[in-house]
Structure formats: C-alpha cells, structure tokens
Structure 1
Amino acid sequence: MWVPLPLDEITLGEPLPVAVWDPRGQLLLAKGAAIRDELHREWLRMHTPVIRREDHDIWRKHYVAALDRAVRRNESLQTIARIARPMQFDEPVAQPDETARPLSERLADLHAALTLLLHQGSHAQDFGGRFVQIDRQLGRWLHQQPDAVLLVLVQMLFNPRLGYSAAHALTCAAVAGLTAQTLGWPAATADALRRAALSMNLGMARLQDELACQAEPLRPEQRQAVHAHPQRSEAILREVGVRDALWLDLVRDHHEIPGGGGYPRGAVEVSEPAQLLRLVDVYVARLSPRLHRPGLPAPRAARDVCLDASGVPTPLGAALVRTLGLYIPGSYVELANGELAVVARRGARATTPLVLAFTGRDGLPRSEPLLRDTAEAAHEVRRSVPAQEVKVRVSVERLLARV
C-alpha cells in the first residue's frame, strides 16, 4: 500500500530514511539516497513519488515524537513550526531481525547512517556509539558474507543517486579489512584499518559528495580543503573522544608516501598500514565513476595502484590482488561468448571469478541471471567493462538471490 511522499518537507542533501517509488512500483530513490537540489525535487514531483505505508507510519511516528518533545519543553510556536521531518531514526542500526532482511537493504541502512554521521561530524550526538555500531555491523557481515558485501558496496559506488562519501568509505573499509587478513596482520590492526577507512574523509565528507557531482576542476579553496582533510579528520576524531593511537595515525597519514612525496606533512617514514590504506583509497576512487571522468575497469585500477615504477607488484599491491582478484565482486565483465556479467564471487585464481550473466549473447537482458564459472573456456573473461558502459539495469537483490 502506497502513501504520497511529503516531498516539500524533505531536507535537501540528507540521506532519506525510506525508499521512494513511483505508483507503478518503479524505484526512484534507494533508501540512503538524497534529494540533491530543487531541480531534483521537481523531477521527482513529476513522477508522483510514493513510499510504503509501513515506512510512512514509522517516519510519522518519529516526526510526531519530535513535535511532542518540543511541546513538552515549552518551545515557542515558531520553534515548533520550524521542526523538520527527521532524516534519521533513533533506532540502532542493527535490529533483532536483521538477518531476515536482504543484505542490500541492511547495507543501504548502514550507508544512510554513515552519511549522516560523516556530514554531522563533531556536531553528531553520540558520535562514538553510532560509529562503533556501524563498524561492528560491517565487520560482522564481512566475516559472514565477504563476497556478497563487496558486490553490494561496489554496486553502490556505481550508483550516482547515492552519496559518494559513505559508499567510498564503506568499500575502502571492506577492502582494507580483508587485505589485512590476507597479510596476516593482528586483529587490532585490521580493526584500526577498517575504522580509519570509514573516517579518513570525515573532515571533507560534504565536499567529497559535492566533488563527485562537479564537472569542473577543483577551485583553490576546494584544493586547500582536500589537502588539509587528513589533519582535519584526525582533529574531529580526537574531539569526539577517539583515543586509539593507530586509528588516529592512519587517518592523519593516509595520503603520505614513503620518501616524502605525500601530504599534508610530507612524511618520509610511513607505516605499512598507512601505505595500505592509501593504496585502497586510490584503488576504490579509480573504480568509481564521477561526473567529470569515467571509472576505470577493475584490472586497470588494480594495476595502477599495485605496481611500482618498474612495473613490479609491491608486496601490499600483491596482497590486494590476492584478496580481491583482478575482478572485484560487483564489477562488470564481458565473457568470451558475448554475455555481459557482474562478478559475484572471487574464484580460485585472480583471473577466474564466478559471475552472473545478465544479458544473452545478443545483448538482450535475461529475466534471471545465470551463474558462470570463468575458469571454463566458453565463459572466460574477455574484458572488464566500466560501469558507465553498462546500459542494462541490474537488480542487486536478484543477483544476491542467485549467488
């Protein structure tokens, strides 16, 4: 049962706590996506946006509760009138029945929660508690379903409707945590890496979302903010009570390069975990399509960050490829028989993932994707396909159901 979306009551630029549909059941905005500006709002209005009644009832309950709290505090009528419809609910990210919900929905909730936290920064209530909850949930799902988590997160990176800062942070956290396990690093190091990846761009989260949608080059003040964001992120984390020295050092140093070629300090000595975080950060950024440039095919992104100046894989780069393969789950490939497929699981070798073919040889979409083993000659990978070349809409829920 559908209820009209209260479109004029939505705060622009903040992640929506509900999914938005048209009256025919076509998804217009995923949960966690934002209405970017007034033009975007008017585009939605033309499609008669609706939300599920159960989502409407929960949302209304929180809105009424906010109004009730203001009345009980004896706020003025003017103050009460300015109370906006809440863009985040107070329930914890994890619910008792979470495992009954599709992983894509759970990760969409995590994306929305992280977006809000990164945007609020030191102004967020209970930053530490909310952050730890997001990190623990991601860590648990990574342990249970690493390939499925990667698939959903990479698909989020390719979705221009979702805020880039949180999608980038979650993907980096997953890749860094898994690579640390490949390297055999202690659990405490892997945990600090994952948390640093989630928070390393805290000092420029809103700017990062803006830059993903900006066609022109960085303006001088934007470039200055980008250069300063590692120290700004570290300062915010200290302000909200983070005391983990490794976590803080990783955030501060995630753009430093051994020998002094990085920023903001030009450090000569850079720890291996900080070097890995920088490598992962660049890898995920190169995978991601932006308004001003296309994303790179997965093997090209891996090659660019994993080889040294002489073309030899670095130890950390080799570990990344051993962890992900050349074709990270969620990325696209063309098979030898002409089918287009999305990578579903990592294979026995870096070049032989298991994939789900969602078009036939004629390029027409299939009603149900078919599982293919690219170790077989008939289904081997012909080439990696950048996300912007894929014109067929792929349902992540349907992909997960076939894995």
Structure 2
Amino acid sequence: MSANDKRDLIKVSADDDLSVGSNLPWTVYDATGRLLMDAGMAISSQSRLNSIVASGYRMDETLQVQETASVIEHALPEPHLYAKDTNPFNELEEMCLEMEKAFAGILGDGAFKAGKLEKRLYETSSQIQGLCKLNADALLGSIHLSNKFNYSIKHPLHVAIISTIIAESLRLPQDHQLAIIGAAITANVAMNSYQDKLQKHRGPLTEEMSQKVKKHPEEGVQILKAAGITNRLWLDIVLQHHEKVDGSGYPAGLNGKQILLEAKIVGLADIYSAMVSSRPYRAALTPQRSLKQLFMQRGSFFDESLTKVFLSELGVFPPGATVELANGEIGVVVKRKSLDSGKPVVSSIKDRFGVRFMHPVMRDSAEKKFAIKKDVKVEQLGKINPSILWGLKLMRVS
C-alpha cells in the first residue's frame, strides 16, 4: 500500500455490522497499511472478528466513491485550442476574474457541488496549457509586467504558467500536468485571506505569522478536500510545495527524493514568482537577479537538475524582462529566441535619450548594436499595455 493510500484508512468499528460467518465487505489492513484480510473472505470465528475490530483499518469508501465519480463525471481535458489571433493578455484577465469567483466559492459559501470545482479548475488548467502553446513568451511576459490584480489572484496564475512550461518541457503525462497546474493555482489557498496582511507587513514575521505560513500547506489540503478536490497527486503537491531538497522546508521536513518531482516544480515556480513580484516594502527583483539567486541555491533548496531545466526554459533574459541595449535603447524582451538567430528579441520603447518611440520597435539582440547590455528595473518603462509589445499589428520590424 502506498503512503497516499495509508492516509485514507479509517478504523474498523463495532458499528460496521460485521458478524461471524459473514464475508468481509472490504479489504482490512493493520495500522501500518499491511494486508490482514482480503475483501470477500469469511469471518470464521468470534476471535477473528474481535481481532478485526480491535486492529483493523479499511479504505474510506466515501473517498473511493467520490474519486470514481469524479473520474467518470469529467474525463481529463486536453490543452485548449485557441485561435491564432487570440490576445493572451485578455484571456489572462478573464482567467483572473474567474479565479476570484472560484476562490470565493472555496473559502466562502462553498458554492460548488461535488466534483464541480475540480472540473472547473481542470478546465482552467487546460486553458493555461492552450495559452502556453499559443504564445508562451507572452504568458511569461505577463508574470513580469502584470500589476492589475491582487497578489492572491495573480500569484497563483503566474505559478501555474511557469509550472505549465516546465512540466511540458519535461514531457510529463497530461494527467500529471493537470494535477501540477491545479495544485499551482490552489497551493496557497489557505493563505488567501491572510495574503494581503503579509504583503503589507514590514520586518521579520511575528510568531503568529510564521505559524500561519508553516501550516498553510496542510490547511490547504483540508480546505481543498472539503471543497471536493479528490485528485491525490494534486493534494500531495499542495502538501509538499514548500519542502526543500536539503530538508529545511515545511511542513514535514522532507528531503531529496522524498519530495515529488511535481511538487518541486510548483515550489520552484512559487519562489520565482514571489521574487519578481513587487511588495509594499520593496520593488520587484529583476528577472536576472531572481534567476541568479535560484542558480546559487540549486542543490540545497532546489533540485539541481530541475533548476537547470528551469533556467534553460526561461533564459538569462526571460520575456517581460526590462533591458537596456548596447545602443542605449530601453525595451522589453518579448521572445526568448529569434527564429533567425536564436537570441532574445526585444521590443524597444525608448531611444537612448529616454524619448518614447511612437510605436515599439522590434530588435534582434544578436545584432551587435542591439545586444542586451543589462537588465533594468521595470519602473523605467513607465505605464504601458503589454498587448502593444506583443501585438504584431502595432509593431514594425527594423
């Protein structure tokens, strides 16, 4: 029996309507998950019955029925297919609004019928997959440029985007990818009502805050179970997403191979998204600085091989990074790789004197005069609509 199954065992009791001579309606295990008697076996004596009641455990039939019904009710979706002219930024805004409603249902009146929340979040996950296939660069860009929604809404979406791209690069099965994305969206659900308070807090966390943070993975699992999430991998990812490979994480202090790969993916995405997000007490870290910190912590906090995949997928200057070019222009990386050169493509916004172009101008950083000199703070951009940076009809190529 797996560790997951052991958590779903419940104690056999005298109220289970067992009698000598009858057949067991379910398989019986001991407290460690070791098989005692198979379902269908006859209870041959009173002493055997007493032993079953005293030491026996069985699977939670309610959970098994829920899981079976969930699978039957909604087959796992494939990535959503979007039209080529779909604006991913508009779709992400709609998704944020839907997530606000979903979180309100989870944490508020519990307005989801059995299986409905899981189905709804599977659909959202398939939409994120579809948008990543349509324009992964634009979605990565949204992580570094989006400030429209509260942290408790935009952060889980950003974690889901990064997790989707990493899971796809590893060619994980679709059911695992959907569990990863669903977990990324809901990993911090127990912190949602507390997130704004933490965002505004300055200085070290209080003891109360620290305990709330450390307990939120376990509390999140309970909230999600109560809301009808039955996917065990999804729940285990939520439980483990703050574990670290050196054993310094929480809540269980797992290390190395004890931590699910899927949880490592969500955990890494969660940390990166937090780094590049602005807080009331500090500006967002630049993507390059954030990636450097992750690289320095590989093998200790983060799985070394996974960190290398992460860095390879995002690149040194990921989409959405604000950069200065060799000729002094300021712009935003909009593509990780040019089709011609394999180098990042930058949408220049300001000339070397700081004057804004009438329209963004596309620059291939493979050209010496357009080579990326350094990253700069996003505040140097001023207010800009990301759609303009990626909207081909609004750009001209130099």
Q: Same fold (TM over 0.5)?
A: yes
* Equivalent position of 1:10 in the other structure: none
Give the alignment partner of residue 293 of structure 1, picking from 279, 282, 299. Answer: 282
* Equivalent position of 1:133 in the other structure: 123
Distance apart, 1:119 and its partner CA: 4.3
Native 8 Å contact 2:338 2:364 kept in 1:
no
CA distance in 2, matches of 1:265, 1:313: 17
Identity rate, percent: 27
After superposition, give the CA deviation of every residue in 1:350-388 in whole Å (9 maximum; x if it has no partner): 99311101111111112210011111111111111232x
| Structure 1 residue identity aligned to 2:337 | G
SS of equivalent to 2:357: strand
* Equivalent position of 2:240 in the other structure: 253
Matches within 5 A, 1:49-128: 102-122=87-107, 123-126=109-112, 127-128=117-118
Question: Compared with structure 1, are the counterparts of its residues 343 and 117 closer, same or farther at alpha carbon in structure 2 (3 Å cutoff)?
Answer: same
Matches within 5 A, 1:26-41: none
* Equivalent position of 2:293 in the other structure: 304
* Equivalent position of 1:374 in the other structure: 365
Matches within 5 A, 1:3-402: 102-122=87-107, 123-126=109-112, 127-156=117-146, 159=147, 161-268=148-255, 269-308=258-297, 314-347=304-337, 352-387=343-378, 389-402=379-392
Native 8 Å contact 1:373 1:379 kept in 2:
yes
Deviates more, 1:313-322 or 1:373-382: 313-322
Distance apart, 1:258 and its partner CA: 2.5
Distance apart, 1:148 and its partner CA: 1.7
Deviates more, 1:346-355 or 1:326-335: 346-355
| Structure 1 residue identity aligned to 2:350 | T
Aligned residue pair count: 305
Distance apart, 1:233 and its partner CA: 1.1
SS of equivalent to 2:347: strand
RMSD: 2.8
Distance apart, 1:315 and its partner CA: 0.9
TM-score (norm 1): 0.69
CA distance in 2, matches of 1:309, 1:182: 19
After superposition, give the CA deviation of every residue in 1:105-133 in whole Å (9 maximum; x if it has no partner): 22111112213323442434223343233
SS of equivalent to 1:145: helix
Native 8 Å contact 2:179 2:233 kept in 1:
yes
* Equivalent position of 1:87 in the other structure: none
SS of equivalent to 1:172: helix
| Structure 2 residue identity aligned to 1:121 | I
| Structure 2 residue identity aligned to 1:293 | R
CA distance in 2, matches of 1:273, 1:239: 23
Q: Which runs of 5+ in 1 are unaligned?
A: 1-95
Q: Which has the larger radius of gyration?
A: 2
Native 8 Å contact 1:176 1:277 kept in 2:
yes
Distance apart, 1:154 and its partner CA: 2.8
After superposition, give the CA deviation of every residue in 1:28-75 in whole Å (9 maximum; x if it has no partner): xxxxxxxxxxxxxxxxxxxxxxxxxxxxxxxxxxxxxxxxxxxxxxxx
Distance apart, 1:212 and its partner CA: 2.5
After superposition, give the CA deviation of every residue in 1:129-183 in whole Å (9 maximum; x if it has no partner): 4323322222211122211222234321xx1x42112211111111111112222
SS of equivalent to 1:390: helix
CA distance in 2, matches of 1:216, 1:308: 23
CA distance in 1, matches of 2:309, 2:296: 12
Distance apart, 1:201 and its partner CA: 0.5
CA distance in 2, matches of 1:327, 1:360: 20
Question: Compared with structure 1, are the counterparts of its residues 329 and 309 closer, same or farther at alpha carbon in structure 2 (3 Å cutoff)?
Answer: closer
CA distance in 2, matches of 1:130, 1:124: 14
Native 8 Å contact 1:307 1:314 kept in 2:
no
| Structure 2 residue identity aligned to 1:116 | K
CA distance in 2, matches of 1:393, 1:246: 41
